Structure 1
Amino acid sequence: MLAHQGAGQQAGPRSKAAAPLLYLATLTVGLMAGFFFAFAILVMPSLAKVDDRSFVVAMQKINEGVQTGAFAFAFFGAFIFTGAAAIVHQRAGYRAAARWIFAAMLLYVVALALTFGGNIPLNDKLAAAGDPAVIADFAAARAAFNEGTWNALNAARTIACMLSLLALVPAIALHGRANKALKTGIS
């Protein structure tokens, strides 16, 4: 086995899955960062300006509509692909890249924890208000949702996702350098 000092790598069993997993991790984390960012800068500020009934109906429809295969691919894929990329890179000897990918995964786990621990329970409160056709007090339903807390949690998960995405940038560069070193035999 070759030792690669320059890229901070040690050669291990090369994996054809390393690069595709890293690219899928970057894609899905990027999609989630963009999704959360869009809510932070556009969706929620726009909904803040509408009446209570419109807010409740729109958020209920968004929360129902997000339950699609495309969203699940990005939301769960970011965790799965980033975790798999970290493991594969570590096992393949791309240790410097693996450290960055593990950091990206930990940051995405923070976003997941905020989502499952905060945003989803607040969404569930809004769903529990019932069908808009039978809601008697839209102001109470909106207040129970707690927009301020939801927005703060969303801002935190947006930042976590952005940092996760940024951590994948050096991982891609290190992966590329290590691959080049393996192909050329230059360390």
Structure 2
Amino acid sequence: MTGAVLGAAAMTTGLVAGVFTLYAHTIMPGLGGTDDRTFVGAFQSLDRSIINPWFMSCFLGALVLTGISAALHLPADGHGGLPWTAVAFVLYLVVVVITLAVNVPRNDAIKAAGDPDQIDDLAGVRRDFGEARWRAWNLVRVVLSLAAFGCLLVALVRYGGRG
């Protein structure tokens, strides 16, 4: 069971790291070059769409599965996977905290602005969203989630070579 949970933790963490990376190198730069109305409307639509069972099960599942995996390694970690899994858990926990403390409030604020066709000051909504700050913190999430994924891959290799 330890190997299956560790594999699932690595898979979900890798998928989420991929989502954050895609936002960093494609979605946000693409939206950045649009007018205010397009930016606000498209970002609202993207944010509503990403809150779905597929993404949420990976986003939250990565943390839960990594924690369970670390706990399963505790009794007899003769292969050295525990330190890598524990570090991955801490790194990904920071990703979750950043997401909830920085990105989600900005996402919620831009959605709360309402229908872009009814907004008088689209430039103000976009400015208040803090696009540069959102992107900077997303880049931190990219780095941390990729590092957590890498740690889980090392743990998998160590687990697979245990005997």
> Shorter chain as normaliser: what TM range?
over 0.9
The structure with the largest alpha-carbon Rg is 1
Match of 1:141 in 2: 125
Q: Distance in 1 between matches of 2:148 and 2:72?
A: 18
Q: Distance in 1 between matches of 2:8 and 2:138?
A: 23
Q: Distance in 2 between matches of 1:138 and 1:30?
A: 35
- Counterpart secondary structure, 2:51: coil
Runs of 4+ that moved beyond 4 A: none
Q: Point out the structure with the larger helix share.
A: 2
Match of 1:110 among 78, 94, 117: 94
Match of 2:42 among 58, 66, 69: 58
Q: Distance in 2 between matches of 1:135 and 1:94?
A: 60
Letter in 1 for 2:139: A
Match of 1:163 in 2: 147
Contact 2:79 2:159 in 1 (8 A): no
Match of 1:34 in 2: 18
TM-score (norm. length: structure 1): 0.84
Alignment coverage as a number of residue pairs: 163
TM-score (norm. length: structure 2): 0.96
Cα deviation, residue 133, structure 1: 2.8
Q: Distance in 2 between matches of 1:135 and 1:109?
A: 36
Match of 2:62 in 1: 78
Q: What is the identity percentage for the equivalent residue pairs of Structure 1 and Structure 2?
A: 34
Match of 1:20 in 2: 4
Match of 1:132 among 116, 120, 125: 116
Q: Distance in 2 between matches of 1:99 and 1:63?
A: 35
CA spacing shift, 1:90–1:49, aligned 2, 3 Å = same
RMSD, aligned CA:
1.1
Letter in 2 for 1:57: G
